Amino acid sequence: MQLLKRNNVHIFGKGNQALIFGHGFGCDQNMWRYVTPAFLRNFKIVLFDHVGSGSSDLSAYNWIKYNTLEGYADDIIELCQELNLYSAVYVGHSVGAMIGILSAIKAPSHFEKLILVGPSPCYYNDGDYTGGFEYQDIQAMLTYMDQDYGGWANSFAPFIMGNPEEPSLGEELAASFCNTNAAIARHFAEVTFLSDNREDLPKLKTKSLILQCSHDMIAPEEVGHYVHQHITGSTLINLRATGHCPNLSAPLETIAAMEDFLLQ
Protein backbone atom coordinates (compact mmCIF):
# COMPACT_ATOMS: atom_id res chain seq x y z
CA MET A 1 0.00 0.00 0.00
CA GLN A 2 2.94 2.34 0.58
CA LEU A 3 3.82 2.00 -3.09
CA LEU A 4 0.30 2.99 -4.12
CA LYS A 5 0.58 6.11 -1.98
CA ARG A 6 4.06 6.83 -3.29
CA ASN A 7 2.83 7.03 -6.87
CA ASN A 8 -0.69 8.29 -6.08
CA VAL A 9 -2.20 5.26 -7.83
CA HIS A 10 -5.87 5.19 -8.84
CA ILE A 11 -7.58 2.08 -10.23
CA PHE A 12 -11.02 1.93 -11.82
CA GLY A 13 -12.88 0.37 -14.76
CA LYS A 14 -14.52 -3.00 -15.37
CA GLY A 15 -12.18 -5.02 -17.56
CA ASN A 16 -9.71 -7.73 -16.69
CA GLN A 17 -6.77 -6.44 -18.73
CA ALA A 18 -5.03 -3.36 -17.35
CA LEU A 19 -4.39 -0.15 -19.23
CA ILE A 20 -1.56 1.63 -17.40
CA PHE A 21 -1.20 5.31 -18.26
CA GLY A 22 2.18 7.00 -17.79
CA HIS A 23 2.41 10.79 -18.08
CA GLY A 24 5.26 12.91 -19.39
CA PHE A 25 7.59 15.51 -17.92
CA GLY A 26 5.93 18.26 -15.89
CA CYS A 27 2.54 16.57 -16.03
CA ASP A 28 0.50 14.18 -13.92
CA GLN A 29 -2.22 11.57 -14.39
CA ASN A 30 -4.84 14.28 -14.90
CA MET A 31 -3.49 14.70 -18.44
CA TRP A 32 -5.32 11.48 -19.40
CA ARG A 33 -8.78 12.60 -18.27
CA TYR A 34 -10.16 12.96 -21.82
CA VAL A 35 -8.86 9.53 -22.88
CA THR A 36 -9.62 7.12 -20.04
CA PRO A 37 -13.46 7.31 -20.16
CA ALA A 38 -13.45 5.57 -23.56
CA PHE A 39 -11.89 2.44 -22.04
CA LEU A 40 -13.76 2.09 -18.74
CA ARG A 41 -16.06 -0.69 -19.86
CA ASN A 42 -13.43 -3.04 -21.24
CA PHE A 43 -10.26 -2.37 -19.24
CA LYS A 44 -8.96 -1.90 -15.74
CA ILE A 45 -7.59 1.66 -15.76
CA VAL A 46 -4.43 2.27 -13.73
CA LEU A 47 -3.34 5.89 -13.27
CA PHE A 48 -0.27 7.04 -11.38
CA ASP A 49 2.08 9.97 -10.93
CA HIS A 50 5.83 9.59 -11.32
CA VAL A 51 7.55 10.28 -8.01
CA GLY A 52 8.16 14.02 -7.83
CA SER A 53 5.15 14.82 -10.01
CA GLY A 54 1.48 15.51 -9.32
CA SER A 55 0.28 14.24 -5.96
CA SER A 56 3.01 11.63 -5.54
CA ASP A 57 4.84 11.34 -2.22
CA LEU A 58 7.64 13.90 -2.57
CA SER A 59 9.44 12.40 0.44
CA ALA A 60 10.04 9.31 -1.72
CA TYR A 61 12.06 11.29 -4.25
CA ASN A 62 15.57 9.84 -4.35
CA TRP A 63 18.02 12.03 -6.24
CA ILE A 64 20.30 9.10 -7.04
CA LYS A 65 17.56 6.65 -8.10
CA TYR A 66 15.86 9.19 -10.34
CA ASN A 67 19.08 10.39 -11.91
CA THR A 68 18.26 8.09 -14.84
CA LEU A 69 15.01 7.03 -16.49
CA GLU A 70 15.71 3.50 -15.22
CA GLY A 71 14.61 4.62 -11.76
CA TYR A 72 11.16 5.53 -13.06
CA ALA A 73 11.00 2.29 -15.05
CA ASP A 74 11.72 0.31 -11.88
CA ASP A 75 8.75 2.04 -10.23
CA ILE A 76 6.41 0.85 -12.99
CA ILE A 77 7.67 -2.71 -12.65
CA GLU A 78 7.16 -2.52 -8.88
CA LEU A 79 3.64 -1.22 -9.49
CA CYS A 80 2.86 -4.15 -11.79
CA GLN A 81 4.21 -6.58 -9.22
CA GLU A 82 2.24 -4.98 -6.38
CA LEU A 83 -1.02 -5.12 -8.36
CA ASN A 84 -0.25 -8.51 -9.94
CA LEU A 85 -0.52 -7.06 -13.45
CA TYR A 86 0.64 -9.23 -16.33
CA SER A 87 0.09 -8.82 -20.08
CA ALA A 88 -1.00 -5.24 -19.45
CA VAL A 89 -1.10 -2.44 -22.02
CA TYR A 90 1.11 0.50 -21.10
CA VAL A 91 0.24 3.89 -22.59
CA GLY A 92 3.07 6.38 -22.22
CA HIS A 93 3.29 10.01 -23.24
CA SER A 94 6.58 11.72 -24.14
CA VAL A 95 9.31 10.68 -21.68
CA GLY A 96 6.67 8.43 -20.09
CA ALA A 97 6.77 6.45 -23.34
CA MET A 98 10.52 5.88 -23.06
CA ILE A 99 10.10 4.90 -19.42
CA GLY A 100 7.54 2.32 -20.54
CA ILE A 101 9.95 0.95 -23.15
CA LEU A 102 12.63 0.50 -20.49
CA SER A 103 10.11 -1.22 -18.22
CA ALA A 104 9.03 -3.65 -20.94
CA ILE A 105 12.63 -4.49 -21.85
CA LYS A 106 13.43 -5.26 -18.23
CA ALA A 107 10.21 -7.12 -17.32
CA PRO A 108 8.44 -8.13 -20.55
CA SER A 109 5.93 -10.50 -18.93
CA HIS A 110 4.07 -7.55 -17.46
CA PHE A 111 3.32 -6.00 -20.85
CA GLU A 112 1.40 -7.30 -23.85
CA LYS A 113 1.45 -4.04 -25.80
CA LEU A 114 2.87 -0.53 -25.60
CA ILE A 115 1.20 2.61 -26.92
CA LEU A 116 3.82 5.33 -27.28
CA VAL A 117 2.54 8.89 -27.65
CA GLY A 118 5.21 11.29 -28.91
CA PRO A 119 8.17 9.12 -27.83
CA SER A 120 11.76 10.24 -28.12
CA PRO A 121 14.88 8.23 -27.28
CA CYS A 122 17.11 11.31 -27.54
CA TYR A 123 16.01 14.95 -27.64
CA TYR A 124 19.15 16.54 -29.06
CA ASN A 125 20.64 16.44 -32.55
CA ASP A 126 23.64 14.16 -32.90
CA GLY A 127 25.36 13.71 -36.25
CA ASP A 128 22.79 12.35 -38.69
CA TYR A 129 20.22 11.94 -35.91
CA THR A 130 17.58 14.67 -35.61
CA GLY A 131 16.32 14.97 -32.05
CA GLY A 132 14.81 18.45 -32.31
CA PHE A 133 17.17 20.44 -30.05
CA GLU A 134 20.79 21.43 -30.16
CA TYR A 135 22.61 20.17 -27.06
CA GLN A 136 23.61 23.70 -26.06
CA ASP A 137 19.98 24.83 -26.30
CA ILE A 138 18.99 22.22 -23.71
CA GLN A 139 21.79 23.46 -21.44
CA ALA A 140 20.49 27.00 -21.88
CA MET A 141 16.96 25.84 -21.00
CA LEU A 142 18.22 24.22 -17.79
CA THR A 143 20.03 27.43 -16.88
CA TYR A 144 16.81 29.36 -17.46
CA MET A 145 15.01 26.95 -15.12
CA ASP A 146 17.66 27.62 -12.46
CA GLN A 147 17.34 31.38 -12.79
CA ASP A 148 13.58 31.84 -13.25
CA TYR A 149 11.53 28.68 -13.01
CA GLY A 150 8.19 30.48 -13.24
CA GLY A 151 9.27 32.40 -16.30
CA TRP A 152 10.54 29.22 -17.90
CA ALA A 153 7.25 27.41 -17.19
CA ASN A 154 5.11 30.11 -18.73
CA SER A 155 7.26 30.41 -21.85
CA PHE A 156 8.08 26.74 -22.42
CA ALA A 157 4.63 25.23 -21.82
CA PRO A 158 3.01 26.78 -24.93
CA PHE A 159 6.08 25.68 -26.93
CA ILE A 160 5.54 22.08 -25.81
CA MET A 161 1.78 22.12 -26.24
CA GLY A 162 1.61 23.76 -29.66
CA ASN A 163 -1.94 24.60 -30.77
CA PRO A 164 -1.57 28.38 -30.28
CA GLU A 165 -5.19 28.79 -31.36
CA GLU A 166 -6.13 27.15 -28.04
CA PRO A 167 -4.05 29.07 -25.48
CA SER A 168 -5.87 27.45 -22.56
CA LEU A 169 -4.00 24.20 -23.29
CA GLY A 170 -0.63 25.88 -22.87
CA GLU A 171 -1.90 27.65 -19.76
CA GLU A 172 -2.93 24.32 -18.25
CA LEU A 173 0.49 22.83 -18.89
CA ALA A 174 2.20 25.90 -17.42
CA ALA A 175 0.05 25.55 -14.30
CA SER A 176 1.07 21.90 -14.07
CA PHE A 177 4.74 22.91 -14.27
CA CYS A 178 4.25 25.52 -11.57
CA ASN A 179 2.55 23.00 -9.28
CA THR A 180 5.68 20.84 -9.38
CA ASN A 181 8.57 21.29 -6.96
CA ALA A 182 10.99 23.48 -8.93
CA ALA A 183 14.17 21.64 -7.91
CA ILE A 184 12.68 18.23 -8.71
CA ALA A 185 11.26 19.49 -12.01
CA ARG A 186 14.65 20.87 -12.98
CA HIS A 187 16.28 17.52 -12.15
CA PHE A 188 13.65 15.57 -14.11
CA ALA A 189 14.13 17.96 -17.05
CA GLU A 190 17.87 17.31 -17.09
CA VAL A 191 17.37 13.55 -16.88
CA THR A 192 14.73 13.69 -19.62
CA PHE A 193 16.23 16.04 -22.17
CA LEU A 194 19.83 14.84 -21.85
CA SER A 195 18.94 11.14 -21.93
CA ASP A 196 20.02 8.98 -24.86
CA ASN A 197 18.24 5.65 -25.08
CA ARG A 198 18.65 5.03 -28.79
CA GLU A 199 20.54 1.80 -28.20
CA ASP A 200 17.66 0.45 -26.11
CA LEU A 201 15.06 0.55 -28.88
CA PRO A 202 16.15 -2.67 -30.69
CA LYS A 203 15.98 -4.54 -27.37
CA LEU A 204 12.21 -4.07 -27.16
CA LYS A 205 10.19 -7.14 -28.18
CA THR A 206 6.75 -5.95 -27.02
CA LYS A 207 4.19 -5.11 -29.73
CA SER A 208 4.19 -1.33 -29.99
CA LEU A 209 2.18 1.51 -31.50
CA ILE A 210 3.81 4.90 -32.08
CA LEU A 211 1.53 7.92 -32.28
CA GLN A 212 3.30 10.82 -33.95
CA CYS A 213 1.90 14.34 -34.11
CA SER A 214 2.68 16.86 -36.81
CA HIS A 215 4.45 20.11 -35.95
CA ASP A 216 5.70 18.56 -32.72
CA MET A 217 8.56 20.76 -31.51
CA ILE A 218 9.60 18.30 -28.78
CA ALA A 219 9.55 15.04 -30.75
CA PRO A 220 9.53 15.98 -34.45
CA GLU A 221 8.38 13.58 -37.15
CA GLU A 222 11.94 12.42 -37.84
CA VAL A 223 12.05 11.09 -34.27
CA GLY A 224 8.85 9.12 -34.69
CA HIS A 225 10.19 7.51 -37.84
CA TYR A 226 13.47 6.73 -36.09
CA VAL A 227 11.66 5.00 -33.22
CA HIS A 228 9.55 3.04 -35.71
CA GLN A 229 12.60 1.93 -37.68
CA HIS A 230 14.42 0.72 -34.58
CA ILE A 231 11.59 -1.12 -32.78
CA THR A 232 11.03 -4.36 -34.64
CA GLY A 233 7.43 -4.89 -35.75
CA SER A 234 6.20 -1.55 -34.46
CA THR A 235 3.31 0.36 -36.01
CA LEU A 236 3.57 4.10 -36.73
CA ILE A 237 0.52 6.34 -37.08
CA ASN A 238 0.94 9.96 -38.08
CA LEU A 239 -1.87 11.84 -36.39
CA ARG A 240 -3.54 14.92 -37.83
CA ALA A 241 -3.13 16.42 -34.35
CA THR A 242 -0.42 19.04 -33.91
CA GLY A 243 1.84 19.79 -30.97
CA HIS A 244 3.12 17.37 -28.38
CA CYS A 245 0.05 16.52 -26.29
CA PRO A 246 -2.70 14.92 -28.41
CA ASN A 247 -4.16 13.38 -25.24
CA LEU A 248 -5.31 16.93 -24.45
CA SER A 249 -5.55 18.62 -27.84
CA ALA A 250 -7.01 15.75 -29.90
CA PRO A 251 -8.35 13.07 -27.54
CA LEU A 252 -10.87 11.62 -30.00
CA GLU A 253 -8.22 10.97 -32.64
CA THR A 254 -5.92 9.54 -29.97
CA ILE A 255 -8.67 7.25 -28.67
CA ALA A 256 -9.54 6.02 -32.17
CA ALA A 257 -5.93 5.08 -32.89
CA MET A 258 -5.63 3.31 -29.55
CA GLU A 259 -8.86 1.37 -30.07
CA ASP A 260 -7.77 0.08 -33.47
CA PHE A 261 -4.46 -1.11 -32.06
CA LEU A 262 -6.05 -2.77 -29.03
CA LEU A 263 -8.28 -4.85 -31.31
CA GLN A 264 -5.30 -6.27 -33.21
pLDDT given at position 25: 92
Strands (E), 14-163: 18-22, 44-47, 88-93, 111-117
- Return the active site residues: 94, 216, 244
Angle (nearest 5°) at CA 16 between 10 and 20: 40
**Residue 164, pLDDT score:** 78
pTM over 0.85: yes
Instruction: Report the run of H or E that residue 174 belongs to, with start and end.
Output: helix 167-178
pLDDT digits (tens, 9 = 90+) for 173-208: 777 786 788 999 999 999 999 999 999 999 999 999
What does each C-alpha distance from 38 to 43, 225, 247, 255 come to in angstroms? 10, 28, 12, 7
Q: Residue 50: its pLDDT value, please?
A: 97
- Mark 55-83 as b/e (b = at least 16 C-beta within 10 Å): ebeeebbeeeebeebbbbbbbbbebbeeb
| Percent of the chain whose predicted confidence (pLDDT) is above 70 | 99
Instruction: List, in order of start, the domains of the chain with CATH numbers.
Output: 2-121+197-262 (3.40.50.1820)
Tens digit of each residue's pLDDT (9 = 90 or more) over 42-52? 999 999 999 99
Report whether pLDDT(57) > 90. Answer: yes
* Tens digits of residue pLDDT in 64-100: 999 999 999 999 999 999 999 999 999 999 999 999 9
What pLDDT digit, counting tens, does each position of 102-135 carry? Answer: 999 999 999 999 999 999 999 999 999 999 999 9
- Rounded CA-CA distance 204/223 in Å is 17
* Residue 161, pLDDT above cutoff 90: no
Region 6-21 average pLDDT? 96
